[in-house]
Amino acid sequence: MGSGIIAGLSRTAAKLIRGVLLELTVVDLDQNIGHLELKGRLDPQGTKAVDGRFRNETALRNRPVIVDMSGVTFITSLGIGLLIDCATTVKRNGFDFILVQPSGHVHQVLRKTGIYKIIPSAESVSDAVALIESSTDN
């Protein structure tokens, strides 16, 4: 599995390590907003597989970031650490970092760890965009 262009709108990186797939897709929603989709397990192997690219697409860019978590089925402390590190850098640069639709196990883990006090979440990408737009209007 490698990277490629999907309908001219997305670039996908998928890594298969020991049978565990985590897919990171960069969606060109808007040049001013980074939009990433994660699908699979954000466990140590999955986190390691996407770490560099995820940091490049979030923390190293000067723009707000939306991370669609609806496809993430499992998360560990290493995955949480990646989210916190990148969100902290994005916020330090004056931009928003918003999680979209963490559900099931992932939502429960994030809620119990208190991550929502650090990183806001939204029910949809359009809700996340509205949050970003409202914070830049202030």
Can you give the CATH number for the domain in which 110 is found? 3.30.750.24
Q: What is the mean pLDDT of residues 38-61?
A: 93
Residue 124's domain comprises 3-137
User: Scanning the structure block, which residue is given the tokens 């989709």?
Assistant: 37
Q: What is the per-residue pLDDT for 7? A: 34
Global pTM reads: 0.84
Work out how many domains the chain is built from and give that number. Answer: 1
Yes or no: say if 60 and 123 are a contact pair by the CB < 8 Å rule: no
Taking alpha carbons only, the member of 130, 75, 64, 63 closest to residue 102 is 75
Q: Is the pLDDT of residue 6 over 70?
A: no
